[in-house]
Chains A and B, each alone.
Chain A
């Protein structure tokens, strides 16, 4: 029997609750606009090795050379003014290991978002990033004792250069796309995680990305390496206050699952509606390894994100489970990339999108199975739910399968919450909003179950809150 209503108050984050910001004095501010000077400034503050600065500057050139992908993506990208964004803001402090040492405004921010409470309840470690740098980063002793490393990217580069450098930019090369190049030029923060062979991290590690400043860009860089036979679940959440100006968030996340390893990466994206969220995420799965992205996009103005898995070793598995909710003024352009590069690899994509009002959802999927392989399988399902006639949904599946020793399956559907369904539910006493969120939750129900319990409760709440005010 399911009794989920009592746990409903455990975690509550909605866009109004996260719509606040503090006036913080930033010790380090790279100023408006992007040039080599910006990079020198960041490198200087961080005290980075020369090779990193060179890497950044090369990336900046790639960023400038690459065109905006508006020939296939939304024209809205042209609304980003790269000269009116600050690329680095920090207080110059190293991340604290104890919440007591975190400066007040930042501590209050994360307390209001419920992060320390979640950490106590069910997390193995937390990194809390405030604008460009982590304010807090800690992993529980028991997990650290197993040899698990969980630090921010700067610390990863400084303290674990050998392993960091080996994989850095290997899963997602700088030139993968314009925004991966941008991130490579100005990255700051994000997580570096290493899980040693055979270690199965029982509780999730979590990162929380908070944007506090106006006219700002957050460019975290995450690299996760899970060694042979090890397992990890990582979750990320993110929020920002709503400003009139645009905010940019452009992350690069690289995952490496060694032989027999398992990585589950969960995102609950709830940016405010002025955030451009342009993120590149990809995992590399070695022999028999599994990389699973569970991706939920509720916030932002425009999200472009297509988590991918390169199945490099025989028997590797890749999965993307994605939920997108586009309300008025939002465009969720999401999808998945499955690159089969070894025999007997399996991928699964399940995507559900909900478009409300003038909200727009787009699914873009790429599945690639080359001719010389055998025994590869892909399953792709994408379902769209439209709420009212103004909303729009598009599906662009690109499935390239060569050779005949594979099996692929693709299903797509578009449905609507009909007036008759709403009438029926209202006749049973539910308000229009309750009826709507019940059917929306029903639509994504099978996917929400894939989330850890604590997050599925939060997700249901978020969906309910999104439906409030969007109908009537």
Chain B
């Protein structure tokens, strides 16, 4: 039950099939990495799980601790405990980071209950300090004018503040220099716990040196074609994806 479970998932965008029977399960307490070449369906998977309107689910299911997410609206899935760290986070002019986070936290409370503003700010400042973010950040509009690194750090901050049950990190390493990558990875590692599962989507093995996964899955043409321990990532780095594609050897 304490699992994020993707069952034989088929999904398409504009009539093109992208996911073609993807099956994967991420138990709480584990970090799973999904690697794959461009166009294999990595980002589609993240968007479909979160409920993006452009993607149509043909069949299959996504279960969060046994509850199907597919019937839920985007925000319900989020409140259920699914968090997506975006590859390209949206900018929201005029809405400060602090107000945004506050609204997101408030949305998780029952009607009539108000968040404790003082405790909220205290917690936010502590978590920002861990990510090496300046306090001034709170007053800036969400992601507006942020550098690539700042955006990704902000995603991790949001994850830390919203404390999801499962987090999907979509190409969180893209656009990061090595220092930023380390900070972001530290943030993620600090969140690793028995109570939380991670699905880390990445094109390169580099991120997995800092966020060490329990399992690595290889996605190709909308299906997991190989699963294995963390060493699989190194192998891929060395040999490239073609080595696996040609044979389509193994299923998970």
In-complex Cβ contact of A426 among B78, B99, B158 (8 A): B78
Tell me, yes or no, whether A420 is within 8 Å of chain B by CB. Answer: yes
Tell me, yes or no, whether A3 is within 8 Å of chain B by CB. Answer: yes
Q: Mark B92-118, 1 if CB is under 8 A from A, else 0.
A: 111110111011101110000011010
Q: Is the CB of A438 within 8 A of B117?
A: no
Q: Which residue of chain B has its CB nearest to the CB of A352? A: B94
Tell me which residues across on chain A come within 8 A of B73, comparing CB atoms.
Answer: 426, 432
In-complex Cβ contact of B78 among A415, A418, A429, A446 (8 A): A429
Q: Is the CB of B78 within 8 A of A442?
A: no
Q: Which of A1, A425, A427 has the most CB of B within 10 A?
A: A427
Q: Is the CB of A441 within 8 A of B95?
A: yes
Q: Mark B64-96, 1 if CB is under 8 A from A, else 0.
A: 000000000111011100011010011111111
In-complex Cβ contact of A427 among B78, B99, B121 (8 A): B78
Tell me, yes or no, whether B188 is within 8 Å of chain A by CB. Answer: no
Supposing A6-B117, A429-B78 touch, asked if A434 and B92 sit within 8 A by C-beta, the answer is no
Task: Using C-beta atoms within 8 Å of the partner chain, give the interface range for chain B.
Answer: 35 or more
Q: Which residue of chain A has its CB nearest to the CB of B89? A: A424
Q: Mark B30-56, 1 if CB is under 8 A from A, else 0.
A: 000000000000000000001011000
Q: Is the CB of B74 within 8 A of A426?
A: yes
Q: Is the CB of A418 within 8 A of B93?
A: no
Tell me, yes or no, whether B23 is within 8 Å of chain A by CB. Answer: no
Per the bound structure, the CA–CA distance linking A3 and B89 in Å amounts to: 26
Tell me, yes or no, whether B141 is within 8 Å of chain A by CB. Answer: yes
Tell me, yes or no, whether B162 is within 8 Å of chain A by CB. Answer: yes
Q: Mark A409-430, 1 if CB is under 8 A from B, else 0.
A: 0000001001111011111111
Tell me which residues across on chain B come within 8 A of A451, comparing CB atoms.
Answer: none
How far, in Å, is A147 (CB) from chain B's closest CB? 43
Q: Which of A6, A425, A428, A446 has the most CB of B within 10 A?
A: A428
Tell me, yes or no, whether A5 is within 8 Å of chain B by CB. Answer: yes
Q: Is the CB of A439 within 8 A of B95?
A: yes
Tell me which residues across on chain A come within 8 A of B141, comparing CB atoms.
Answer: 442
A-B contacts counted at CB < 8 A amount to: 91
For window 1-60 of A, CB contacts with B under 8 Å fall at 1-3, 5-6
Q: Is the CB of A1 within 8 A of B107?
A: no
Q: Is the CB of B98 within 8 A of A443?
A: no
Per the bound structure, the CA–CA distance linking A431 and B162 in Å amounts to: 15
Q: Is the CB of A443 within 8 A of B94?
A: yes
Supposing A1-B117, A6-B117 touch, asked if A446 and B75 sit within 8 A by C-beta, the answer is no
Tell me which residues across on chain A come within 8 A of B78, comparing CB atoms.
Answer: 426-429
Q: Is the CB of B90 within 8 A of A430?
A: no
Q: Which residue of chain B has its CB nearest to the CB of A430? A: B107
Per the bound structure, the CA–CA distance linking A444 and B91 in Å amounts to: 16
Tell me, yes or no, whether A445 is within 8 Å of chain B by CB. Answer: yes
Supposing A423-B52, A443-B93 touch, asked if A429 and B107 sit within 8 A by C-beta, the answer is yes
In-complex Cβ contact of B90 among A5, A421, A445 (8 A): A421
Per the bound structure, the CA–CA distance linking A445 and B95 in Å amounts to: 8
Q: Is the CB of A434 within 8 A of B107?
A: yes
Per the bound structure, the CA–CA distance linking A19 and B193 in Å amounts to: 53
Per the bound structure, the CA–CA distance linking A420 and B90 in Å amounts to: 6
Tell me which residues across on chain B come within 8 A of A419, comparing CB atoms.
Answer: 53
Tell me which residues across on chain A come within 8 A of B117, comparing CB atoms.
Answer: 1, 3, 5-6
Tell me which residues across on chain A come within 8 A of B92, comparing CB atoms.
Answer: 421, 424-425, 438-439, 442
Q: Which 8 A-B pairs have the closest CB atoms?
A: A442-B94, A442-B95, A424-B90, A426-B74, A429-B78, A428-B104, A426-B75, A429-B107
In addition to A1-B98, A428-B107, 11 A-B residue pairs with Cβ atoms within 8 Å of each other are: A423-B50, A423-B74, A424-B92, A425-B100, A427-B77, A429-B107, A430-B75, A430-B103, A431-B75, A441-B94, A442-B92
9 contacts between A and B (CB under 8 A): A5-B102, A6-B114, A427-B86, A428-B158, A431-B107, A432-B73, A442-B92, A442-B95, A443-B94
